[in-house]
């Protein structure tokens, strides 16, 4: 049991991001640049594959930097971190989808990776055909699929539709079938990326059960997820990635605690954004402060369902004036999924400009979220181009409240509370 399954040494991966668009002030500049554009485009496209001398050119990002760790046979390791911290890149390198820029990995055993459910699924093919296709894509032989076919169909629970083209399936059915195939892989090392967060609650439970069955069967598993409880229950150890580096590693509970602890710290009602660590790369600092207020204009971080949440923003464009910007506040849940966005251009037709110290207020009436912790991110855009963006600014708590003012505060199921009413017609 003490043999090494995976050994990662100083792994680094460099990406070139977005090809920058230039804006032109004059017609002449636009025309000359259009004439020169084939050459410029060629240079830009060529750069996709060449990196040249300067490693720190501004459109290069290091998705992973000097990552090293070891995984012993039979260990289940969780990899956690924020979006863009390099988790998926790490799995992609381990599954050989993309090459590392530096470093090396030693792997002992047959690897299967599950970065997406239903890779290669085709809507025109029937359930049966898709099982064979997807199974082969995931690395099973035809014989293996033959042998497990009934089990797969049984697990998916869609026996009746097995000869129906997948395009007639509901999205839930498609996911069930796809996961059923993946669940029957028998590799020595399994790499899983955030694929359990699909389907309804019942099916998710089934997937988690299957996962814990896999993890207790002595297989080596690397498991990437935003779902902290599942990491804690499934994994022995966990690694925390931040901006491409391993910043913490320990037992699953320790790492999750460390990760969440960092976030809890930031539950503040008034945040200075002028030099915030979570500002996006290449953003100009426009956002100065943000305040979370309740209707009584008190700075708070807890709100009841049905209460109004007021975001008060201060922006500073210094000597510039930014006309017709769009500001949007994203609200994310604990799994970092965007629950909703409060966008200035969609919520009000009135346009405005940002000059020296502009103040803005966004009132979110009737918070319908289910109880829990949410975080916010704010971005400033102009014509779709990002000017400033800060992520993970603060968290706020939504508490259970009498949303409908009906006196009944039973919790119920669902992601949010819908508005509406019931009418009753009783024949006399």
Partner 1 sequence: MQKIIAPKKGFQFIDWKELFLYRHLFFFLVWRDIKIRYKQTILGFTWAVIKPFFSMIVFSIVFGKMARVASDGVPYPIFSYAALVPWTYFSSAMVGSTTSLVGNNMLSKIYFPRLVIPAIPVLAYLVDFMIAFSLLGVLMVYFHIFPGYNIVFLPLLILLMVFTASGIGMWLSSLAIQYRDVKFATTFLTQLLMYGAPVVWPASMIPEQYRMLYGLYPVAGVVEGFRSALLGTNPMPWDLILPGTLSAAIIWISGAFYFKYKERIFADVV
The least distance separating partner 1 from the CB of residue 108, rounded to whole angstroms, comes to: 5
Restricted to residues 117-136, the positions that interact with partner 1 (CB under 8 A) are: 119-120, 122, 124-125, 129, 132-133, 136
* CA distance between the termini of the chain: 76
Could you say which of 109, 257, 269, 355 contacts partner 1 (CB under 8 A)? 109
Q: Which is nearer to partner 1, 43 or 337 (CB)?
A: 43
Residue 49 binding partner 1, by CB under 8 A: yes
Query: Is residue 402 within 8 Å of 417, Cβ to Cβ?
Result: no
Could you say which of 53, 56, 99, 202 contacts partner 1 (CB under 8 A)? 99
Query: Is residue 246 within 8 Å of 67, Cβ to Cβ?
Result: yes
Residue 98 binding partner 1, by CB under 8 A: yes
Closest CA to 89 of 105, 76, 75, 74: 105
The stretch near partner 1 (CB under 8 A) out of 110-118, 204-212, 230-238, 267-275 is 110-118
Binding residues for partner 1, rule CB under 8 A, total 42
The Cβ-side half-sphere exposure at 312, using a 13 Å CA radius, reads 12
Restricted to residues 11-30, the positions that interact with partner 1 (CB under 8 A) are: 15
* Cα–Cα distance for residue pair 263/228, rounded to 1 Å: 13
Could you say which of 103, 157, 250, 355 contacts partner 1 (CB under 8 A)? 103
* Cα–Cα distance for residue pair 365/105, rounded to 1 Å: 52
Residue 308 binding partner 1, by CB under 8 A: no
**Three-class SS of residue 353?**
strand
The least distance separating partner 1 from the CB of residue 59, rounded to whole angstroms, comes to: 13
Q: Which is nearer to partner 1, 191 or 332 (CB)?
A: 191
Query: Is residue 239 within 8 Å of 64, Cβ to Cβ?
Result: no
For 361, the token pair is: 């207020």
**Three-class SS of residue 6?**
strand
Could you say which of 19, 106, 265, 415 contacts partner 1 (CB under 8 A)? 106
The Cβ-side half-sphere exposure at 36, using a 13 Å CA radius, reads 10
Q: Which is nearer to partner 1, 96 or 200 (CB)?
A: 96
Q: Which is nearer to partner 1, 120 or 306 (CB)?
A: 120
Judge residue 316's burial from the number of C-beta atoms within 10 Å of its C-beta, 0-12 exposed, 13-18 middle, 19 or more buried: middle
Could you say which of 31, 34, 37, 96 contacts partner 1 (CB under 8 A)? 96
* Cα–Cα distance for residue pair 373/38, rounded to 1 Å: 50
* Cα–Cα distance for residue pair 75/77, rounded to 1 Å: 6
Query: Is residue 148 within 8 Å of 131, Cβ to Cβ?
Result: no
Residue 92 binding partner 1, by CB under 8 A: yes
The least distance separating partner 1 from the CB of residue 288, rounded to whole angstroms, comes to: 37
Q: Which is nearer to partner 1, 18 or 420 (CB)?
A: 18
Restricted to residues 29-48, the positions that interact with partner 1 (CB under 8 A) are: 42, 45-46, 48
Instruction: Count the Cβ atoms, other than its own, within 10 Å of residue 33.
Output: 12
Q: At what angle do helices 171-183 and 142-156 cross, to 10 degrees?
A: 130
Spacing of C-alpha 136 from chain mean position = 28
* Cα–Cα distance for residue pair 117/172, rounded to 1 Å: 12
* Cα–Cα distance for residue pair 302/267, rounded to 1 Å: 9
The least distance separating partner 1 from the CB of residue 119, rounded to whole angstroms, comes to: 5
Q: Which is nearer to partner 1, 86 or 100 (CB)?
A: 100
Could you say which of 79, 131, 138, 329 contacts partner 1 (CB under 8 A)? 138
The least distance separating partner 1 from the CB of residue 2, rounded to whole angstroms, comes to: 16
The least distance separating partner 1 from the CB of residue 134, rounded to whole angstroms, comes to: 9
Query: Is residue 398 within 8 Å of 305, Cβ to Cβ?
Result: yes
Could you say which of 76, 79, 95, 286 contacts partner 1 (CB under 8 A)? 95
Residue 288 binding partner 1, by CB under 8 A: no
The stretch near partner 1 (CB under 8 A) out of 95-103, 204-212, 322-330, 360-368 is 95-103
Q: Which is nearer to partner 1, 14 or 258 (CB)?
A: 14
The least distance separating partner 1 from the CB of residue 236, rounded to whole angstroms, comes to: 23
Residue that is written with structure tokens 């896999």 in the block: 214
Residues near partner 1, by CB under 8 A: 15, 42, 45-46, 48-49, 92-111, 113, 115-116, 119-120, 122, 124-125, 129, 132-133, 136-138, 141-142
């Amino acid at each position: 049991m003490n043999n090494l399954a995976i050994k990662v040494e100083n792994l680094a991966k460099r990406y070139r991001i977005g090809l920058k668009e230039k804006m032109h002030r004059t017609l002449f500049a636009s025309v000359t640049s259009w004439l020169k554009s084939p050459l410029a485009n060629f240079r830009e496209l060529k750069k996709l594959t060449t990196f040249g001398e300067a490693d720190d050119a501004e459109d290069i990002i290091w998705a992973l930097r000097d990552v090293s760790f070891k995984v012993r046979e039979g260990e289940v390791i969780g990899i956690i971190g924020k979006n863009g911290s390099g988790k998926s890149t790490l799995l992609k390198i381990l599954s050989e989808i993309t090459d590392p820029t530096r470093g090396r990995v030693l792997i002992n055993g047959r690897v299967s990776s599950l970065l997406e459910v239903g890779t290669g699924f085709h809507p025109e093919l029937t359930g049966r055909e898709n099982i064979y296709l997807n199974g082969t894509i995931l690395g099973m032989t035809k014989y293996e699929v033959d042998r497990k076919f009934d089990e797969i169909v049984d697990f998916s629970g869609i026996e009746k539709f097995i000869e129906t083209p997948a395009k007639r399936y509901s999205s839930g059915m498609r996911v069930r079938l796809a996961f059923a195939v993946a669940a029957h892989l028998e590799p020595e090392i399994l790499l899983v990326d955030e694929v359990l967060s699909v389907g309804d609650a019942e099916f998710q439970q089934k997937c988690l059960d299957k996962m814990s069955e896999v993890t207790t069967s002595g297989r080596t598993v690397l498991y990437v997820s935003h779902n902290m409880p599942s990491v804690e229950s499934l994994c022995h150890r966990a690694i925390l990635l931040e901006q491409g580096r391993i910043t913490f590693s320990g037992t699953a509970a320790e790492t999750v605690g460390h990760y969440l602890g960092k976030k809890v710290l930031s539950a503040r009602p008034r945040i200075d954004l002028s030099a915030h660590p979570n500002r996006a790369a290449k953003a100009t600092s426009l956002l100065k402060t943000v305040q979370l207020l309740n209707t009584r204009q008190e700075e708070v971080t807890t709100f009841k369902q049905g209460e109004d949440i007021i975001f008060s923003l201060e922006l500073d464009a210094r000597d510039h004036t930014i006309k017709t910007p769009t500001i949007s506040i994203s609200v994310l849940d604990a799994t970092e999924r965007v629950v909703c966005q409060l966008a200035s251009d969609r919520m009000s037709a009135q346009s405005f400009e940002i000059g020296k110290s502009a103040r803005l207020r966004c009132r979110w009436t009737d918070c319908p979220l289910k109880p829990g912790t949410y975080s916010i991110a704010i971005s400033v855009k102009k014509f779709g181009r990002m000017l400033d963006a800060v992520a993970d600014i603060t968290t706020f708590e939504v508490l259970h409240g009498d949303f409908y003012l009906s006196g009944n505060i039973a919790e119920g199921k669902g992601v949010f509370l819908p508005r509406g009413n019931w009418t009753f017609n009783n024949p006399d």
